A and B are shown apart, each in its own frame.
Chain A
Amino acid sequence: MQTETRQPLLKISGLEKRFELDKGFLETLKFRKGRIVSERREVHAVNGVSLEAERGEALCIVGESGCGKSTVARLVAGLLDPSAGQIHYGGQRIDNLGRQALAPIRKKMQMIFQNPYASLNPRMTIQQALEEPVRFHQPHLSKSEMKDKVAEVMRSVGVDPSWRFRYPHEFSGGQRQRIAIARSLTVDPEFVIADEPISALDVSIQAQVLNLMLEAKAERGLTYMFITHDLSVVQHFGTRVAVLYLGSLCELADTATLFAAPKHPYTKALLSAVPQLSDERPNHIRLKGEIPTPINLPSGCPFQSRCAYATSRCSAERPEPILQADGSQVACHAVEEGRLD
């Protein structure tokens, strides 16, 4: 499937991130079988994820808490350094760049966080908050140009520019999130990473913010990486979906394909668990047990402990994503062997 002509905007290959659990030397000391040994424990947050994002698409990353979706976002944004693997942006490898070299790429790549109460500095006015990224990335702009820029962006997110001297606490949650989006748009990015941008908001406000993000996509030709746990939002917003479980990719497919014909047993369970407005009785697929801890990962398929179709091969061999007939990628031995149909 790899052709030379097509160049994805973002390409992640074999991405891994491990966090050390025992920080100091003393913490690594453990008492085992009458002897003191030094033992390091690690959280395997992301385990070999490969993804691509085309220009103009909205790639959604879904999964439950602890699946590594936020870690992937932070790795791509350069807020964390990967333990292994590569990240290419616009053909250029970016995961090994220093702060200086990364600055021009950061200008093209902006991030929106979940909690608008935490992501705006309470002691900066909206004007100051919105000017800061412009001043950093476009220092050549004059004061009046900067002011125009801020006013234009505020207007585009539906916040009255005359409010620019107000502080974040004077705004409601939905307005704050719109200001946070405005802040990411001030430097004219081409790629926006949104980590649960609407999870902290009420339903009626969620619709306002989602509409704003869709508008910005259409007007500015943005590419999104949208991290969420809410599948109904994915269905509405995403062009492609990646389902993560315990730091590994389970399934990657076009949104319509994924919702019409989920293939991975975990994706099926996830989709069936969403509370619906329509049918009377829910008929969800029960998963046994709960997500295992990402410290000491099980060998083989990460999902095997909860999967109804697991075999000895699943516990021994880690499934790799395999391209299916409809263009989706599924990492499951049972799907590969055709045992699920």
Chain B
Amino acid sequence: MALLSVKDLTVKFAMREQSVTALDGISFDLAKGERLGIVGESGAGKSITGFSLMKLISKPGFIDRGQIQFDGRDIAKMDEPALRDIRGNHMAMIFQDPMVTLNPVLTIGEQMVETLRAHRKLSLEEAEQIAIVKLREVYIPSPEERLRQYPHELSGGMRQRIIIAIALLLEPKLIIADEPTTALDVTIQADIMDLMLELCQTNKVSLILITHDLGVVNQMTERTLVMYAGRIIESGRTREIINDPQHPYTQGLINALPQQTLPGQPLKQIPGSMPSLTNIPTGCAFHPRCAYATSRCKTEIPRTLRFGAVEVACHEVERLKAGQGKAGTGQPAANGNASANGDTSAYDEASTYDEASANGSGS
């Protein structure tokens, strides 16, 4: 059974006139010990996804509909006392900037002991012992001394290690890491990534890694979700998504990287930019930037189709697949009649709850 199962999660922000949809029917599963990456550009909704998994969406934002099944309980329906038991205890979060996450007027020890004693009945000495063990796990030299130090006395990499140690204090089942290495230098980033990978593997902790960096996702995760304008547009095994992306946006994102082009040659850019949430295009949100967009893409939101282990939300994906195999001459596949086609890429509709909930809940 999946540790976390998100179904049709929709998050809105109430504004003066209308409400803005930040997440639009997100669904995914996460198995125990699995490492999942969420990639996308700013404004894609990846951080909102992370926050809503812990129900940390505050006013004017709210969870409009959907379920977040975690260990058999629906987080979306929980009240504050129940959430307090989940947060930190069963799920922990790591943020981008360690200096903002740590309290500058408390020592490292005070912050770690505080977290432990908020959830467990422990004496001060016991809590400190646990804190020292955890600091050692993240390779902090002389942890006994660190407990007496303040955050400003430590370097950026050291602070992020301490954040990871705090996240691991209560042995959570899931860690949500929102751009954990973005503020760090490359050599430090590589160390922190190695550390997180090692800790997830040895402790069997599930990880949701939110990042804009495809290289980081490639090295850290087994499965990846690609987000665009509040929707998941492609998901599947990380290797496959990077080696053989299906959605035109994912393809564009990977092809835009400087590594994908010979030095000095123009990069393959995606025209335009991510739409703002107040002004999401109709139909497929990516259609104004997409080279393959048709009139259907402008009006109809694409459903998620499954191709083997990969799920893609694109009307034109079949035509693109056919075009790849037959050197340019793209044969438009008969819509809805995949069986009539001799193609091996059998697809079935992955999202059925999409329509069901749209009809059912009329709030």
Contacts and interface: CB of A to CB of B under 8 A. Distances in A.
A122 interface: no
Interface stretch (B59-67, B100-108, B168-176, B188-196): B188-196
A275 interface: yes
A84 interface: no
A204 B218 contact: no
B81 interface: no
A204 B214 CA distance: 12
Nearest to A292: B155
A64 B185 contact: yes
A138 interface: no
Interface in A257-292: 269-270, 272-277, 280-282, 284, 286-287, 290-291
A282 B187 CA distance: 12
A92 interface: no
Interface string B171-208: 00000000000000111111101100000000000000
A207 B270 contact: yes
- Find the residue from A204, A206, A211, A287 having the highest chain B CB count within 10 A: A204
A276 B256 CA distance: 14
B188 A203 contact: no
Given A203-B257, A204-B41, A232-B259, A290 B269 contact: no
Nearest to A210: B267
B49 to A, nearest CB: 17
B263 interface: yes
A236 B266 contact: no
A290 B187 CA distance: 9
B64 to A, nearest CB: 27
A235 B263 CA distance: 6
A174 interface: yes
B253 interface: yes
A211 B214 contact: no
Given A204-B270, A211-B267, A273 B190 contact: yes
Contacts of B258: 207, 210, 232-233, 235-237
A270 B186 contact: yes
Interface residues on B, range: 35 or more
B264 interface: yes
A215 B215 CA distance: 27
- Find the residue from B187, B242, B268, B270 having the highest chain A CB count within 10 A: B187
Nearest to B217: A275
Contacts of B212: 202-203
Interface in A157-174: 172-174
Contact of B218 (A215, A269, A277): A277
A108 interface: no
Interface string B42-69: 1000000000000000000000000000
Contacts of A207: 256-258, 267-270
Nearest to B188: A290
A229 interface: yes
Contacts of B158: 290
B218 A276 contact: yes
Nearest to B261: A236
A275 B263 contact: no
Interface in B310-340: none
B214 to A, nearest CB: 6
Interface residues of A, number: 42
B219 interface: yes
B257 A232 contact: yes
B71 interface: no
B139 to A, nearest CB: 11
Nearest to B270: A204
- Find the residue from B194, B252, B259, B270 having the highest chain A CB count within 10 A: B259
B185 A229 contact: yes
B273 interface: yes
Contacts of B188: 64, 290
A203 B41 contact: yes
Interface in A178-216: 202-208, 210-211, 214-215
B269 A208 contact: yes
A255 interface: yes
B343 to A, nearest CB: 28
A204 B273 contact: yes
B256 to A, nearest CB: 4
A275 B269 contact: no
Interface of B: 41-42, 155, 157-158, 185-191, 193-194, 212-216, 218-219, 239, 242, 252-254, 256-259, 261, 263-264, 266-271, 273-274
- Of all A-B residue pairs in the complex, the 5 with the closest CB atoms, nearest first, are A275-B215, A236-B258, A64-B185, A202-B41, A273-B190
Given A204-B41, A255-B263, A275-B215, 17 more contacts: A175-B273, A203-B41, A203-B253, A204-B253, A207-B258, A214-B264, A236-B263, A237-B263, A273-B186, A276-B218, A276-B219, A277-B214, A281-B219, A284-B190, A286-B191, A287-B187, A290-B188
12 contacts: A203-B253, A211-B267, A211-B269, A229-B185, A236-B258, A236-B261, A236-B264, A237-B264, A275-B219, A277-B242, A287-B187, A290-B188
